[in-house]
Structure 1
Amino acid sequence: MKKTIILFILFLVFSFLHSQHSEDFETGDFLSLDWQTDGDEDWLVTSYQPFAGNFCAQTGYLYDGFTSSLSISMETSYIDDISFYWKSNLQFDDKLIFYIDGIEIDFISYVSSWQFFSVSVNPGEHTFEWTFEKGENGSTNLDFGWIDNITFPPTTTNFDNDLAAKNIYGQTIVYIGDSAAYDVVIKNWGNLEQDNYIIRLFGENNIEYDSITITENLPSEAEAIHKMVWIVPDNGMFQTYLWVEVEFPEDEDPSNNSSGIFPINILASGQTPVTVGYGNILTQWYPMNFSFHNSLSETIYYSAELGYAGEITAISYKNNFNSNLIDIHTKLWMGNTNQSNLTNGWINASSLTPVFDDYVDFLSGINDILITLDPPFSYTGGNLVVMCNRPWDDDTYDQADEFYSTINTTYFDRTRAVNSNTTISPTNPPTGYLFSRLPNTTFYITVNNTGSIEGIVSDDVGNPLIGADVILEQSQTQKFSNSSGYYLFGNIIEGLYSFTASAHGFNSVTEQATIYIDQTTELNFELNAISTISVSGQVVGSDDQAIGIENCNVNLTGYENYSTVTDANGDFLLPDVYVNNDYTLNINHPDYSLYADEVIIQNFNLDLGVIIINEKSFAPAMVQAVLSVSQTEAEISWFAPPFIEFLRDFESYNTYRFLEINNNNPENWDLLSTGIIDTFYIDTFWNSLPLEIYQFAVTSIHTNGVESIPAFSNILEKTLTNAESELPDNGFKLLQNYPNPFNPTTTICFELDTEITELIIYNIKGQIVDKLTIYNEQNSIEWNAESFSSGIYFYKLKSESFSEIRKMLLLK
């Protein structure tokens, strides 16, 4: 009995410290968690034979070949299991598949009773998905899958001290005798902030490659990214992995201290990557197509693009896949060619050298798909042709499984491709289609004239600088220093180069160095700290400039970010600001408008003096402009601005008039009145204005002349009065639209005597929303307002001697 009580208490403690989500669908819907449905038919919640309770989730009603998916994304904080119950009445070629992050974990076919399933999940961001794939068995709407009682891994903790190594990412392809930098994500799951912990970088066999000590503050629930450097060893491995571990003595939950592994491909020293194509166009045509049962493509790469001759040992393409495809049969051929295009047909496989015939993993997301050639191809330096074949596959995949490609207008007809659901012969392919595009491709070419450079980056007293970056200026290639300040550049072709070292808070230094074949040049950098000064000032309000404002948030952002709060006198001081940089100064206070200004920091302490921030002012509302009965005056009315809680003194209104084309040009507005207390104004000069379209604006004025943003009226057309309109017929007439009101189309009729003009559509604010071109053979035009919201609109027909405007109403 005591043992049972102890176990129960431990369970309660665990449940308290690790908050877990569960889903039993007892709400009768999918609203309890952020569920997403996809595919041809949605999942549904049903009362049919649940595992427990009253409800469970069921796949949609599907036709043959259709799919139905249910998924949820969450960030888990602790290594633990996801578990659930599932069953199906599926036929032999139907599947209910469970995925984690796009990777198939397991599936069931015909399982008539509820089965329990669980699998361990590492901490991090994950997507859990259940997908029903309906086969071609003629049992439409008869086959289903069900899931129930899902328990997810913990998503939060209640520990005070809990750091997690969330992720590591960076270069997936590296070279022996070179270095590579990786970004490490650390998350603070605990309730307390942390400012003293160690991150260690490990590889296979638990070999520690680097470690850094972090003393910067990491608040609760926050994440921090740190850079770590790996010096690639020459240990005979060509595929390996890295992982990181975070440690600090007070950690109460060591289970999430290690990240998942990050897989890496290692290439031999002396190989130079040459990338052809940097575009962002996604295509499913080349190098391979996965929505058909097989595909074939061929691309010519030009000597001017490749630059080097030598052995091509590997090739990579950049994909962006929805699917996670494992062990896909892939074939490659290469050949040196004198052809400059494929206009006249394929260079068939019998004329090329086979360089790869094996299976490749095409992972979901954005990846560099590296294919190591066996055997390497001897490239002689001319044009190169590459043929890529996805042989017959019984399965087809998502049309959104695509590759990045580039349009090249210099070289036309450089790619030919064909996709088919019948077998394609690479030695006798069908005609296919021509493209002046190419898949983004990287070739790894062995050259024999490379060397390396290494050194230490330190400050002016010899302390190593961690995470300093060193740039090879000629190629803009970047490396980073490790915890000892050491950096390493490998695989540099012999010659004289410029290298620039920089680190945050230090002045950059550029030096020249010569790279020799098969030798390592040493180049050390000593960086001097950037000088710092202080920035000060006093903040006062526009309503009372004799008194400083307390508790203003003062933020200076730029090369470094600084923040402080004003004291009781409105004074502030920002120390240790790096000089010779431009910054943005922002000052916030809830009772005042945001203050923003640019500040240039030079080599002396900067006193900004008295900074005046404006009291908040609110614009009037619902400004309306109408013409008097005689149409000789314009009557403008509005509502007062909303009540200002902190009781800033309202003083008056300003009114403005302007041509509607100057809506965004206040410098061209006419100020009609100032000091108005009432919420209306009559423009008595309206009758003397030229025949144009006008608009009005009203602003509110507060203490010390602080003016609000303007509130705009509708537009008004100045037309001839009855007395003025007895003029000869000029051949123009604008009629009322029909129907009116309308939804969503209406016809506007008119008479005109000119070759081409425009019908302009305005919204209630007087903003132009559409323009329709009219030719002299027309007497009507249709306007489609499908993309516009309900409301009043105006349409205007205008020439040099005529202008008329009418109103219409869109009701949806």
Structure 2
Amino acid sequence: MVSGTTTWESYFSIEVHAPSLSTGNITINDTAGNGNGRLDPGETVVLTIPTENSGSAVSPTATGILTCSNQGLTIENASYEIGEIDAGESLNALFTVTADAGMIIGTPLELVYDAVAGEYSCQANYSIVVGLILEDFESNSFDSFDWEFGGNGNWTISTDAQEGLYSAKSAVISHNQVTSIYLETTVLADGELSFYKKVSSEGNWDYLRFYIDNTEMDSWSGTLGWSQETYNVTAGEHTFKWEYDKDGSVSSGSDCAWIDYIVFPPMATGALGTVSGTITDSATGLTIEGADIAGMTTSGVNGTYTFDMMPGTYSLTISHDDYYDYLAEDVLVEEGAVTTLDVALVPLPDLDPPTNPSAVLQDYNDVFVSWEPPGGAPVALWNQMDNPSTAGISAQDFETSYNQYDAMGADDFIVPAGETWSVFEIDILSFYSDGGGPCDLANVRFYADNGGTPGDLLHEFLDVAANPDETGNLFCTIPDTEFTEGTYWLSVQGRMDYGTGGQWYWTRQMAPAIESEFTTVYGNRNGFVSSKAAKHVTHNQRQGKLSIPNLSAVNEAYIQEPQENTSRSLLGYKIYRNGSVIYDSLDPLTVTYLDVALDAGVYEYEIVAVYDEGDSDPAPAVSATVLLPAPLNAAASMQGTNVFVTWSSPAEARDIDSYNVYRDGVLYSEEVSSTFFIDLATTAGATYIYNITTLYDGGWESEYSNDAEITITGAGGELIPLVTELEGNFPNPFNPTTTIKFGLNEPALVTLEVYNIRGEKVRTLVDSELEAKYHTVHWNGEDGSGKNVSSGVYFYKMKAGSYTSTKKMIMMK
């Protein structure tokens, strides 16, 4: 608060309340299904996901969103309105989902849950398994699977169970003997195997061991309660074995091991059927290597594949990165039979990457990233001056009415044989006279050729925003419009508030007299050559100029390259910096990005074109090295008993925020805005080393400058401040004495006065002519009559010539 020359300051704190969202464990409600608490093939269940607000304020209306990356799971309601969540409250989001009847038991489903409440959100990942291939020995036997036994005795059923009533227990054996239980099976897809185990044996001598394909995965000994183990298992033939072995002497505990609740990966539980076939390219007929067949296997070098699976009717998806997915529905797999499934995949269109990427360092720690569109930057294809004409299209006549469209001149252009153009922008450099121009809207029309004159109307875009500049130039964006080889006519009408005599020029009877008055179309021309030896269409890109006469404006048509078998469109770009996305835009016209406020280091940029069909491969990587130079020429000199430290800014200093000063390796003064620093707190005979660092945009700090070393001798010239300044008092708060420091850069009449919080003068400390140097004044807490002042807030005000400053101090008894 300021009143005249008096300033009051007050300090207070504000407590901010906000919601904070988090999620809990997912649960499955299948009471409407088979009630076993799992999601089984063909079953519809309700998934419940709690969302908690652990913050201190009610949340905005929250919405839960559930997605799944797996095929075969249908989410009936992808979003669920949770509503407002009070502080400390937890509300559930409910999602109804259905697993396809043909899904393989044991398939893991990956779910992503997002809770969004205004600007607040949280995300959680969940994994649930379709059905369970489970051995929990609750049949009180080993009949559920084809278990086999080995060693010196068969395992038995025990009532010491981790889950339910029963478990499997190792046989009673003697010293130097083993007993094992194992299962040979076919794992149908990559997955996990988990089980619970318990051990009571002679520690470090008698062991329970677990093997996959005779490779020991782990072992346990001593006294261990029930605990779970989990292992990754690949698709294929496997043997899972649990073995208990004893050494040559001593028995301890129960001298045995137990296993229970074994969850297997997707595997065959009975007689199998076989699916086999060949994957080919629909365009070339060539075989495709590496196609994924429903996660069961991949096609080999000759395009063939084969795998076994449980009998049933399935929906199988065949996919490859370079092709559209193929969904084979109602595939019947029968016991002991071979089902042939040959698939021809349709190639994805070529998704051309951006071209000519560049990364240029700016202002020390900014990087300017630029690129050109796929196919390269547009170039001049069309120039009126190549073919001027005196044929009779005249300039715009004046109009006495307003808001009129006119000047409907038209001229022809040719798309060469074998090429297809996609025009999405017409830029017209034009001019106008009188009237209320420039034009704010335009009509754009394309016509077929009719023997050298405009024929049938092909495309018409009315009231297109012209985005004019002050000289009359128009910039019109239209929807992508394709033209195959042939001759066409383009017409543009501009709308202007025409006054008497008003004209907008874009056509002439002869070649215009000034350079800017002609029509040019910019773009790329792309010819397409189908290659039978490749899976995709290859491109022969060419660039050049095409002339159109009679137009006294410049028209620019930016051309996109079409693709075979698709209507793909370029949507925008992504930029990856050192592997992470930093820019994701759906603006195909923006081809630059400024990456600002970077720390020192090497940064690699990869730019990807984003299409409606997916992302392209990245353009060739470009990199930039950010160096954050330290200050230069650090030096220290004596002025009296003070140290005057100076330095120079790094060359071409830009994006520098300030400097930090270190004394003897300890941060001494932060965010110094000048290139000098005065150390007033020195000790005679001491030696100090000063280093300076540069603080750059973003808060990044450079390395140390060179050492500036000095020993305090008490000698040296009087230090003259660069500016007149009231520095402050120390200590503050104080009792009863404090020291006030100020500096004068020239001799001046100085007054230094103390005021109380009511604005009443308490005492005059200085009222005299002082020389240019640093000064200190002590106040002992007494007023002008020699009485001690009471505790409280006081203000001291300094005047020196035109300089005035007031600061606050606190007397605290």
What TM-score do the two structures reach when normalised by structure 1? 0.23
Greater Cα radius of gyration, structure 1 or 2: 2
State the structure with bigger RCO (CA 8 A, min sep 6), 1 or 2.
2
The structure carrying a bigger helix percent of its residues is 1
